[in-house]
Amino acid sequence: MVDYKLLIDGEFVEGSGVIEVINPATEKPFATVAKATEKEAAAAIAAAKKAFPAWSVTPITERQALLSKLADAVAENADKLARLLTREQGKPLAEAMGEMAWTEGYLRHFATLAPQNRIIQDDDDFFIEVRRKPLGVVAGILPWNFPILVACWKIAPALIAGNTLVLKPAPTTPVTTLAFGEFCRDIFPAGVVNILADENELGPFLTSHRDVAKVGFTGSTATGRRIMESAANTLKRLTLELGGNDASIIMDDVDVPDTAKKIFDAAFLNCGQVCLAVKRAYVHEEIYDEMCAELSKLADAAVVDDGLQQGVQIGPIQNAAQYAKIQKFLDGARSAGTIAAGGIVEDRDGFFVRPTIVRDVKDGDDIVDQEQFGPILPLIKFSDVDDVIARANNSEYGLGASVFSRDVEKATQIADRIESGTVWVNQHVNIGPHLPMAGFKQSGIGVEQSIEGLEEYTQVQLINVAKS
């Protein structure tokens, strides 16, 4: 027997194997989940395909009401889900509770939306209308940094648009999503939501399957490329929210302690494992030393421990593979620049790394050019605005960025020149279900969140009627 089973066609299924899920704070298993093979994946796709005709014509008010019920279930079970999330993902319990609140909010917002038809012409000669039709079966492939929130970024628009869904959480964080499946089973008709778990074998099967109409993926750019290749033969619709190397430009007129706190929080949320986190900070030379000192104080004072402990600010790296990558980045940072704070891999059980501030680095260093996706922040000195904009833009990524200055008008002008899907001014990582999120360049294809994100889960159909 396993602790958590697959959800296929409204039933919990044992699967064809067992996965032990590791708590990254202890490096020990804390739960077992059923493992799916292509057999279970094919059954899940078939169940979703079977459920699609009835679900696609279910009145939008009913679909909205059921999504609201799912939000109610998240709210009622937030503490239980958050504790599971902390044990499998590592984030502090307060952040896990925050993820539950965000999840509930996203579901409630999408429960107020509906695909919008648009009349182009209605006169004596023609009635012409653009209609938004559901696509069919959607495969939602999830990351390990925000397992339940990103699951609902797929569930909400897919179901409101009239699609059915097969979800595959990341192999290292399947527990909360499978537990969440209990609510989906009780709320939605059989086959509308199906949830699998694997050890990274099933991606190609899902993304190439002829009965899957769309793939919604959040994760690395490298995996996004492979998904595009796999989906090409069937020309699937794709929404890909991929990597980022988010730049922050900090001008010399800022309040340094206040700005340092904002930058620190935006860089080290979820142990730095956030696609939109500040990953490289360009600091004006006039305040460079002061900013380094302020950020170092915050890093030195941070409480790093098991996320279930009281008062913890930063938990462990989520998994062993990412932990090894972070250690390589730290080795590179020591040779390229100066570790101003942190840089310590703690000698204890768990994948713990103290928040690290790296100074005296430059563009061209791996720690600056590559996405760390962990608790490391490089600080790069600049003096010229045109030059720093060019440096910020000299990246294959373009997901998020920010500009900090007391001169809001000037900062906004700088923001307009940055090649990024979202650019914040005097803030970072301010997102919401009503705000479209998209990536420039290799940070993604398509839009998540908002009515624009909902439309990604629809097909345009033109109805063109001659009246005479």
Q: Which of 184, 271, 275, 292 is catalytic?
A: 275
Catalytic residue among 99, 241, 455, 456: 241
Active site residue 184: no
Residues 6 or more apart whose CB falls under 8 angstroms from that of 333 comprise: 339, 343, 356, 358, 361, 365, 367, 376, 378
Q: Is 456 a catalytic residue?
A: no
What is the rounded CA–CA span in Å between residue 22 and residue 172? 7
- List CB contacts of 156: < 8 A, sequence separation 6 or more: 67, 106, 107, 109, 110, 111, 433
Are 137 and 165 in contact by the 8 Å Cβ rule? The answer is yes
Cα–Cα distance measured from residue 348 to residue 26, given in angstroms and rounded to the nearest whole number: 9
Mind telling me the catalytic residues? 241, 275
